[in-house]
């Protein structure tokens, strides 16, 4: 029996916030309140395929991604990536995981090549042969060759996001965490990035966890979909299973059936801590 | 640590240094400005020393040339040490500004590798920049190093890097503890070190509490050791006590800094402070 790509047992996360009412003097602290980002969650994802996490802003998607990426410590429960605990064996988990987030995290003054060779170094890839590899991956993603030495800030959002995906390929992750990779892109760039994700399903031996609030994207790309709202998983199944189980023509209908509200596409990332 | 892990950590160490090199290349105009500013600062201090005679500082006990060298050594060393200190201390702030902090913290890299990589570049870059400033200062003020013991000064300089790196790692924790105010606090720490470390005056002129703070600053020993070698010709043997103090401070500050940083990183992950917006 293979080790699950993701195995989560009872993971929960809250964030403490300190609010201050209008007119309160600056030297007085406001009262602290705990905001639950993730209620106790159990989840197992077998290796391979694309698992979508669907939900509006504040549903707990990004918190889940950050916990799996060792960027957040859960308040309770355990999360394992290919059998390694994300808290006690974080360094080993990081060797197998990469992330593409809503905002392409790059040194914007540096070129795709400079950013990617930096990533290669961090993930222990030898420098020799990296240039060829970078050019091959960028070509595979349909990026013109002349962008490779331009500063990232001169690239379009869609191109930047493709470079982010290319960078993740370079490090050959076993688990790829994609946190709203198409949010904020123009329709053409969005389609291009989605096409890249589609080729991922067939061409690479990688497990993808895709967070999105785009229902069509989830229906088209995901083998399995988790619907989340308010830090809880409301439904779990393949897109067709969900549609059949909840009597909807689309995933949007399923979400409305489960929550009584529509999933509005918003430009901003989920408000976390 | 096995060979594969050691090799990947070495690669990452060089990766951080190389990334800094790329960043500096892109911001070369700014670097030119900082170099100009460093030269102007050192020249100003040199001319200040030249002007002391005009301002009435003279007499049997006053040696204008020595005063000038004393101040110039302070200015040059402060320029160098503060550059290394701020580069390392701002390692986290830089990542926040660029929005790459989460990417870097997700990489399979030990934190000590991350911070040492930043320091490695800063030390190399600082040496190059300070050398340029030194050449300009020597040309303009006709500095006489004939009585100096260069080997002694270099040994002190090398030893001073050890505690300085530890202190910088400790300071780099501040933006991790407080995304909103950490950067400002880093500047405050730098300013305080300038005040108490005897950069432009002997510690004896300070009030006692500041003197005590000065004795706790590794920069104090680095500066006094360098001055002893450059002004009085103290050799490597004579510098051994100073080197010992600096290395002992480093032996405390580096592991201490890394331990504090690890604690701050765990705290940031618990409270969700790594995110770019803080």
- Whether residue B31 lies within 8 A of chain A, CB to CB, comes out as no
Q: What is the pLDDT of residue B219?
A: 94
How confident is the model over B33-44, as a mean pLDDT? 93
Q: Which residue has the higher pLDDT, A268 or B175?
A: B175
Interface of B with A in 107-126 (CB under 8 A): 107-110
Q: What is the mean pLDDT of chain A?
A: 85
User: Using an 8 Å Cβ cutoff, are A171 and A120 in contact?
Assistant: yes
* Maximum pairwise Cα distance, chain A: 61
Least confident of A112-126, A133-147, B98-112: A133-147
Q: Which residues of B fall within a CB distance of 8 Å from A119?
A: 107
Q: What is the pLDDT of residue A271?
A: 43
Closest Cβ opposite residue B274 in set A15, A71, A123: A71
pLDDT at B274 over 90: no
**Which tens digits make up the pLDDT trace of A138-172?**
887 788 888 889 999 999 888 888 888 888 888 88
| Chain A interface disruption, residue of B1, B107, B263, B274, most A CBs within 10 A | B107
Q: What is the pLDDT of residue A180?
A: 86
The answer to whether B18 contacts A109, with C-beta atoms less than 8 Å apart, is no
CA distance B277 to chain A (A): 9
Q: Which residues of A fall within a CB distance of 8 Å from B267?
A: none
pLDDT at A268 over 70: no
Q: What is the pLDDT of residue B265?
A: 92
The answer to whether A110 contacts B22, with C-beta atoms less than 8 Å apart, is yes
The answer to whether B103 contacts A15, with C-beta atoms less than 8 Å apart, is no
The answer to whether B106 contacts A99, with C-beta atoms less than 8 Å apart, is yes
Q: What is the pLDDT of residue B91?
A: 79
B175 pLDDT tier (thresholds 50, 70, 90): confident
How confident is the model over B172-190, as a mean pLDDT? 82
CA distance A128 to chain B (A): 12
For residue B6, the chain A residue with the least C-alpha distance is: A124
**Which tens digits make up the pLDDT trace of B49-66?**
888 877 777 666 777 788
Q: Which residues of B fall within a CB distance of 8 Å from A81?
A: none
Q: What is the pLDDT of residue B277?
A: 40
B276 pLDDT tier (thresholds 50, 70, 90): very low
Q: Which residue has the higher pLDDT, A201 or A65?
A: A65
A265 pLDDT tier (thresholds 50, 70, 90): very low
Closest Cβ opposite residue B100 in set A70, A105, A114: A105
User: Using an 8 Å Cβ cutoff, are A60 and A232 in contact?
Assistant: yes
Q: Which residue has the higher pLDDT, B173 or B205?
A: B205
Q: What is the pLDDT of residue A29?
A: 67
Q: Which residues of B fall within a CB distance of 8 Å from A123?
A: 8, 107-108
Least confident of A40-49, A132-141, B69-78: A132-141
B278 pLDDT tier (thresholds 50, 70, 90): very low
B171 pLDDT tier (thresholds 50, 70, 90): confident
B215 pLDDT tier (thresholds 50, 70, 90): very high
Is the ipTM reported for this complex over the cut 0.95?
no
Interface of B with A in 212-231 (CB under 8 A): none
Q: Which residues of A fall within a CB distance of 8 Å from B104?
A: 122
- Whether residue B12 lies within 8 A of chain A, CB to CB, comes out as yes
How confident is the model over A43-70, as a mean pLDDT? 92
Closest Cβ opposite residue A118 in set B7, B19, B106: B19
């Amino acid at each position: 029996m293979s080790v699950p790509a993701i195995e989560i047992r009872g993971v929960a996360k809250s964030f403490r916030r300190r609010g201050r009412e209008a007119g309160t003097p600056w030297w007085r602290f406001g009262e602290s309140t705990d905001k639950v980002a993730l209620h106790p969650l159990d989840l197992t994802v077998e290796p391979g395929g694309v698992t979508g996490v669907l939900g509006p802003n504040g549903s707990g998607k990004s918190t889940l991604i950050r916990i799996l990426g060792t960027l957040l410590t859960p308040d309770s429960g355990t999360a394992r990536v290919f059998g390694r605990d994300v808290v006690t064996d974080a360094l080993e988990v990081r060797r197998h995981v990469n992330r593409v987030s809503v905002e392409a995290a790059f040194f914007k003054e540096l070129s795709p090549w400079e950013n990617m060779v930096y990533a290669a170094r961090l993930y222990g890839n030898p420098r020799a042969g990296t240039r060829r590899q970078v050019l091959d991956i960028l070509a595979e993603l349909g990026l013109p060759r002349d962008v490779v030495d331009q500063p990232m800030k001169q690239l379009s959002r869609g191109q930047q996001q493709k470079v982010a995906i290319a960078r993740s390929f370079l490090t050959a992750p076993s688990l790829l965490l994609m946190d709203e990779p198409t949010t904020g892109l123009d329709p053409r760039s969005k389609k291009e990035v989605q096409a890249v994700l589609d080729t991922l399903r067939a061409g690479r031996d990688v497990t993808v966890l895709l967070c999105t609030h785009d229902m069509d994207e989830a229906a088209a790309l995901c083998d399995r979909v988790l619907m989340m709202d308010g830090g809880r998983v409301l439904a779990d199944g393949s897109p067709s299973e969900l549609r059949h189980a909840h009597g909807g023509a689309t995933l949007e209908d399923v979400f409305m059936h489960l929550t009584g509200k529509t999933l509005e596409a918003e430009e901003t990332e989920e408000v976390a801590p | 640590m096995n060979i594969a892990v050691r090799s990947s950590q070495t690669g990452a160490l060089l990766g951080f240094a190389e990334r800094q090199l790329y960043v500096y290349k892109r911001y070369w105009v700014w670097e030119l400005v900082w170099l100009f500013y460093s030269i102007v600062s050192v020249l100003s201090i040199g001319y200040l020393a030249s002007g002391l005679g005009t301002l009435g500082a003279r007499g049997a006990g006053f040696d204008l040339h020595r005063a000038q060298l004393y101040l110039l050594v302070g200015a040059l060393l402060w320029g160098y040490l503060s550059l290394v200190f701020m580069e390392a201390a701002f390692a986290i702030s830089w990542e926040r500004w660029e929005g790459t902090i989460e990417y870097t913290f997700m990489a399979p890299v030990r934190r000590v590798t991350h911070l040492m990589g930043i320091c490695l570049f800063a030390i190399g870059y600082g040496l190059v920049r300070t050398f340029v400033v030194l050449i300009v200062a020597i040309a303009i003020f006709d500095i006489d190093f004939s009585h100096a013991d260069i080997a002694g000064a270099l040994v002190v300089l090398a030893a001073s890097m050890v505690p300085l790196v530890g202190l910088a790692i400790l300071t780099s924790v501040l933006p991790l503890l407080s995304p909103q105010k950490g950067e400002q606090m880093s500047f405050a720490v730098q300013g305080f070190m300038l005040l108490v470390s005897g950069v432009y005056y002997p510690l004896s002129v300070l009030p006692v509490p500041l003197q005590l703070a000065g004795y706790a600053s590794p920069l104090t020993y680095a500066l006094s050791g360098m001055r002893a070698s450059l002004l009085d010709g103290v050799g490597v043997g004579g510098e051994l006590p100073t080197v010992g103090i600096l290395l002992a401070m480093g032996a405390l500050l580096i592991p201490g800094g890394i331990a504090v940083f690890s604690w701050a990183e765990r705290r940031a992950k618990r409270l969700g402070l790594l995110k770019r917006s803080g």
